[in-house]
Every structure is written in C-alpha cells, then in structure tokens.
Structure 1
Amino acid sequence: MFVNSTNGHELQSKMRGFRLDRFRGNPKLAARGPPGAFVDPTGTRSRPIRSESIQGRRERSKITTTEVNVMAFSIESPAFRDGDRIPDEYVRDGENLSPPLTWKEAPQGTRSFVLIVEDPDAPSGIFRHWGIYDIPAERDRLPEGTTAGAKTESLGYGVNDFGNPRYDGPQPPKGHGVHHYHFRLAALDVETLHCGEKAKVADILDRAKPHVIAQAELVGTYERA
C-alpha cells in the first residue's frame, strides 16, 4: 500500500518531535548526548557517528588505491610461471644458475631495486637463497646466471644462508615435500643501501625495509623425492 506523500511527511515530523521530547525529558538519555552521537567512555567529549563513518570510508579508499598501484608492479620469469616447478638447471643439484627474471610497471620514485629469494618451508625456518641489491632503477631484468662466475657488474651481492655471496638454488631435504621459493623484488626510494661485502641477505632485507615503495613476487616450487 502506498502512503500519501503529504501525510507521510507529517508523520515523520511528529515522530522526530516525539524522539526529541523523549530525549529532553529523560536525564539518562540527555547524559549520553544527542541522538546519533558517539559517547567517549571518559565522558569528556562526543562526536557524530556519521562523521566517523565517512572518515573511515575515506581511509579505506586510500588503502584500496595504494593496493591497486602496487598490484601493477610485477615480476616474472621466462623459465617458469608463477606457482610452477622450478626447472632443474636452476636448482642447487643441477646447474645452479639463477633464473632469468623480468619486471614491469615500477612505481614513480623508484631509485633502485633489491631482490630476495626465500624458502619459508625450510625445517629451520625461513632460508634465504639469494640477495642482490643496488639494482639500477632503469633496469627491468636480470639475465640467467647473474651472479655466476666473476663479478662483472656493480650490483651488490648478499651472503646467503649457505654462506655464499651468490645465488644458490633450491635444495630441500629429501622427502620433505614441496617447498615454495619466493622471488621478492622491491622498488626502493634510495639508489644504494650502503651494505658491506659480507652483509647477509637478512641484513640487506632489514636495511631495505624502510625504503620500500612497492613489492612484486614470483613463486616457484621444488621437491626432492
């Protein structure tokens, strides 16, 4: 049943008047502040719920925008797709070469990159296989076998958990199941991290964290039967 709009407005006005009269005549309700207000538990101040809700939506909007920008930054490898098995030439029992990597859509303000390769499935906790830093901002790739042989570039190499300043591929314990290797590339707002030659990958990661603008990730898997 439809209600006449004029009568409907009159009814709404009466209801609002009733609520206000009820509020004014009740000391307990009056102590809580006007209808639609959030009362501070200390009793010292109140603020409208609507204003808080709008502010919260604005903050969530900012977070969503940031996430969209970060998602545009991506890393991949022509050797394997995200979630696929890492080929034998890139594991420690094979040729132990670092896989070729490419990335795109680095955010504005990027002045360098750092790449960390971690295995969170290791029995002793996170095991770091590779750390390479001070990668120039204009680069968008690392070729196969980047840290193999003599050092020919001005890239910084961290000491991995095998104790080597280079890439060492997957080598999980036999029968331990599938391990996941996270190739994490971070865009930084500084050109160099000023790390020493003997800096461990974990130390490089700690130094890079305050300067991270965005991150991209590629995951490969490997298992030794």
Structure 2
Amino acid sequence: MIKNPQVFLLVGACSFILSACDVSNQNSLLQSNENSFVLTSSVMNDGGYLPITYTCDGESITPPFSWNGAPQGTKYYVVMMYHNALDGVHSYWNMYNIEASNSYIESDQVLGEMGTNNLNDLNEYSSPCSQGPGYKNYTYTIYALSEAVILSNQSKVDRATLLAAIKNITLSSAEMNVIPFRLIS
C-alpha cells in the first residue's frame, strides 16, 4: 500500500513531463532537418520587398536565387513563383528538370525546362506588376526531387500540372515570400 499518494502523483507527473520533452526534442530535430533546405536571393529577403527590376514596372526579368541543404538523393529541382489572388492562383514562373549539380540561378537565366505561366499561357516567365488593387504576396518555391519530371507530350505545363507530377517525387521544398515594392503615383 502506498503511504504517501502525493509522492506517487509527483513521480507520475515528472515522468509524463520528461517523456513530453523527449518527444519535443524529436520534433525539433525533425523540423531542423526539414528546415536545412534553404532558398535565398542576393536581391531580396524572405518577408522583404520584390525589387521593381523583377516586375513589369522594371526589366521584367527573373531574380537570382541560390539554395543549399537539399536532402540526400536530390537529382532535380523545380522552381515556381505564384501568388494567391482574389480570383485564384496566379502563376508567373514554372521551371523544372533543373539538374541537381546546380545550386543557383542567375537573373534571367533558364535552367532545365520552362513551364507555362497562367497569365499569358506561354512557356516563359511572366513578370508580376506591383500596381493594382489589393495586397500581393509572391511566393518563390524550390522543390528537391528524387527524379526528373516526366510528362506525356504536354504543351501546357502549368503549376497544377507540375505539382501533380512532382507529388510523389518531392524530397523537400523551401520558399521565400516577398511583397512588391510599390511605385508612388
């Protein structure tokens, strides 16, 4: 028979708390491993401004990016740029089958194959415009893939098509979110 129930409860509570700490350490380790794949740019920061140069108000070219920390087994990359608008997702840039030997993209450089943007339905970068109604948040995402994207003779390779094609071959992803620098009228 237990002579002091408070001691029993205290030991039980300590055991529970210590076991929870072990789980949180495991979760932290998983998160730190997942967050080791990072996308950066020499011209902007995550949460910062998209420079005018990379919009329709400037030179309408793609910004430069670099990445590191891709998981082991990465053979290809996909890069996408989009924003969620009131009327749906606007996709500006879809580049895929970028070989894993690459760790950066120069400004206005094409690596791999170009997919279709949904603004003019062409296989090219379509620069966003900083003007217009509402708040805009642009997301650049890089996906590390275990194999190449294989599509069956499709001339239109839009964001939805690419996301479906990479669903089972994505090892990890990293993203950067920016807002456009607004010109004052």
Which TM-score band applies after superposition, normalised by the shorter structure? 0.7 to 0.9
Answering whether residue 70 of structure 2 is matched by residue 78 of structure 1, we say no
1:20-169 mapped onto 2 (5 Å cutoff) = 62-120=26-84, 122-147=85-110, 155-162=112-119, 163-169=121-127
TM-score normalized by structure 2? 0.80
1:138-217 mapped onto 2 (5 Å cutoff) = 138-147=101-110, 155-162=112-119, 163-171=121-129, 174=132, 176-190=133-147, 192-195=148-151, 196-217=154-175
Q: Which has the higher contact order (CA 8 A, sep 6+)?
A: 2
Maintained 8 Å contact 1:116/1:205: no
* Count of residues in Structure 1 that have an aligned counterpart in Structure 2: 173
Q: Against the structure 1 CA distance between its residues 63 and 208, is the aligned structure 2 distance closer, same or farther, given a 3 Å change threshold?
A: farther
Q: Against the structure 1 CA distance between its residues 66 and 10, is the aligned structure 2 distance closer, same or farther, given a 3 Å change threshold?
A: closer
Q: Against the structure 1 CA distance between its residues 58 and 111, is the aligned structure 2 distance closer, same or farther, given a 3 Å change threshold?
A: farther
| Distance in 1 between residues matched to 2:138 and 2:161, nearest whole Å | 19
Aligned sequence identity (%): 23
Higher strand share: 2
TM-score normalized by structure 1? 0.67
| Distance in 2 between residues matched to 1:11 and 1:88, nearest whole Å | 75
| Distance in 2 between residues matched to 1:63 and 1:158, nearest whole Å | 36
Paired letter, 1:127: H
Output one character per residue of 1:46-97: Cα deviation in whole Å (capped at 9) or x when no partner. Answer: xxxx9xxx6x987765544322111111011111111121111100232110
* Gaps in structure 2 of 5+ consecutive residues: 9-14
Paired letter, 1:113: Y
Instruction: Compare CA radii of gyration and give the structure with the larger one.
Output: 1
Maintained 8 Å contact 1:73/1:104: yes
SS of match in other structure, 2:49: coil
RMSD: 2.9
| Distance in 2 between residues matched to 1:167 and 1:127, nearest whole Å | 12
User: Which residue number corresponds to residue 12 of structure 2?
Assistant: none
Q: Against the structure 1 CA distance between its residues 188 and 59, is the aligned structure 2 distance closer, same or farther, given a 3 Å change threshold?
A: farther
| Distance in 1 between residues matched to 2:162 and 2:170, nearest whole Å | 12
Aligned match of 1:220 in 173, 178, 184? Answer: 178
Off by >2 Å, runs of 4+ in structure 1: 9-13, 56-66, 195-198
